[in-house]
Structure 1
Amino acid sequence: MEMRFSKVVISAALAASLLGCTQDYKSAKELVDIAVNGLPDIQLSEEERLALNFAAVYIKYGEHPKTYIALAKAQGDERVWAASDGITVVTRNGQIIRSDGLPFASSGVHYLKQDPFAQGLLSVEENTPYLATRDYISEDLFGVTSESSFTVHETSQAVIAGSERQLQRVSEQLSVPALKFSTTNQYWVEQRNNKQIIWRTEQQLGPNQPMVFLESLMPFFEDI
C-alpha cells in the first residue's frame, strides 16, 4: 500500500510540474487528488492564445493532462521550451533532442551524415536508414547508435496555432539497439513556401516511456 501511495504521489508531482507554468498545486492532498481524479487538458481560446506575449507549445506527457510551456531560448535551430519548475524539452527542427526533469532524459542526437529534420521530412528518401549517435544521461549511455527510417502518409486538415493547415503525416521507425528499444514516432508537416514546418509531433524518448505530444501554440517568428 505504501509503494502504491508513493507511485501515486510521484505521478501527481509530475503532473503538477508539467502544469507549473499555468497552475499552482501545493499541498500533498491536492497532489493525491490530481493523481486519483486527474485534471482536464488545457485548451486556450483564440483570444487567450493571441494574448500570449511569448512563443509556446502544448505538451502532453503520456496520460498526464495537456498544458503548455514557453520558449526560453532560441539558439540556431534549437528551441528550448521550459516550465517554471525546471522541466525542459529541447527541439531541433521539430525533433526532441534533449529533455530534463522527466523520468527518462535524452541529452543529444547527432546525425552521422544528413539530418533528415534539417532536410525536411517531406524530402527524405523513404525507408532509407538515417544513422545517428544519441546520448542518454539518465542511463549513463553516450554515443550509442540509432537508426531511423521515414514513411510519408496521408494528408489531413487541422486547426493549429489559429489557422487551418494542410498537414502531411510522416512516421519515423526508430531503433536504438543499445537500449533494446524501437518505436514509431509521428510528425505532422506543412509545406509552406520554401519551409517544411512540423506543427505537431508524438515522440517516445526511451523504453517503457509514454509518448510526448507537442503541438505549436504560438510559433516562434523565425520558424514560420
Structure 2
Amino acid sequence: MKILPSCACLSMALLLCGCNPLMRASWYTLETSVTGPASINVTRAQVDAVPYPQILVTTAVSEGVMAMPRRRGDLEFWVASGKQVLMMRNGLVVRTVGLGVSLDGTRFSGESPFKRGLQHLPDGYASTRWIDLYDGNRIGLAVNSRFSPHGIEILRILDKDYALLRIDEQVDVPTLNFRATNRYWIDPLDGFIWRSEQHLTPRLVLKIVQLRPDRGAVR
C-alpha cells in the first residue's frame, strides 16, 4: 500500500497553523491535558469562519478541531495546527500521525464495507482488514469485524438535530488479544458517517464528529 511519508503529512499541518484562532486554541489541549479532554464549545459561526471541512476529534486526553485542506481521490487529509494528522477513507481512519501510538496503514482485501456504504450491509456482515502499527513496527495485523445495525438515534451536532442510523462494528485483533466495539452514526439514505467512535489500536480511541462535512464521498 502506498502511504504518504510522515514529513509530508506534517508539512500540510503547517498550512493551518495561522488560519483561525479556533484551530490554534482547540488543539492546545492535545499537547497539555493529561487528566482528560477539556471540552470545547464550538459554535456554528466559528465553524463557518474557516474555509475548510472540519471535524471535532476527542481522544482520552484531548479534544480539538481538525480541518481538511486536501483530498486525493477518496483519501482525506485532516490536519491540525499542532501537526496532528488523520487520513480517512469513507469515514474510517486509516492512518494517524502525532497522536501517540500511530496507526501506520490500513488495507482491505477486496471492497471495503465503508466504501460500499454501511447502510447496505446485512446484519452480521463480516469483514477483515489489515493494519500496520508504528509501535513496535507491527505489520499486517488482521482486524476481524462484524457489523450490526442498532436503529435510529437523534444526535445534536452544533445547532441541529439529526436522525441517524447507528451501526456497531465488533472488532477482534487476535495477534494483540484485543476486542472492542466501534460505533458509527450514519445518514440512513446515503451512508455518510456523521459521528463515530473508532478503536484504532488498544491505546488509541478517537471520537469524531463532522462539524462542516464534505459530502463528496457519500454513496
The TM-score normalised by the length of structure 1 is 0.78
What per-residue deviation string (whole Å, max 9, x for no partner) do you get for residues 122-174 of structure 1?
21132232112211122311122221110100201223365432101101111
SS in 2 for 1:41: coil
**TM superposition shift of 1:21:** 3.3
Matched, 1:56 2:60: no
Q: Which AA in structure 1 matches 2:104?
A: S
User: Where does 1:5-84 land on structure 2 (aligned, <5 Å)?
Assistant: 21-23=23-25, 31=32, 34-35=33-34, 40-64=38-62, 66-84=63-81
CA distance in 1, matches of 2:74, 2:27: 34
Work out the percentage of aligned pairs sharing the same amino acid: 24
Match for residue 123 of structure 1?
120
Larger Rg: 1
Matched, 1:107 2:104: yes
Matched, 1:205 2:200: yes
SS in 2 for 1:146: strand
SS in 1 for 2:23: coil
**TM superposition shift of 1:62:** 1.4
The answer as to whether partners of 1:148 and 1:173 remain within 8 angstroms in 2 is yes
The answer as to whether partners of 2:155 and 2:163 remain within 8 angstroms in 1 is yes
**TM superposition shift of 1:181:** 1.4
The answer as to whether partners of 2:27 and 2:80 remain within 8 angstroms in 1 is no
CA distance in 2, matches of 1:111, 1:215: 24
The answer as to whether partners of 1:161 and 1:219 remain within 8 angstroms in 2 is no
CA distance in 1, matches of 2:137, 2:41: 37
What per-residue deviation string (whole Å, max 9, x for no partner) do you get for residues 174-222 of structure 1?
1111222111101000034xx2100000111112x25211000111252
Match for residue 6 of structure 1?
none
**TM superposition shift of 1:52:** 1.9
User: Where does 1:126-137 land on structure 2 (aligned, <5 Å)?
Assistant: 126-137=123-134
The answer as to whether partners of 1:131 and 1:148 remain within 8 angstroms in 2 is yes
Matched, 1:141 2:138: yes
Q: Which AA in structure 1 matches 2:212?
A: M
Stretches of structure 2 that go unaligned for 5 or more consecutive residues are 1-20
**TM superposition shift of 1:101:** 0.9
**TM superposition shift of 1:107:** 1.6
CA distance in 1, matches of 2:22, 2:174: 35
The TM-score normalised by the length of structure 2 is 0.80
User: Alignment length, in residue pairs?
Assistant: 196
Matched, 1:175 2:168: no
The answer as to whether partners of 1:20 and 1:85 remain within 8 angstroms in 2 is no
* RMSD of aligned residue pairs (Cα, Å): 2.5
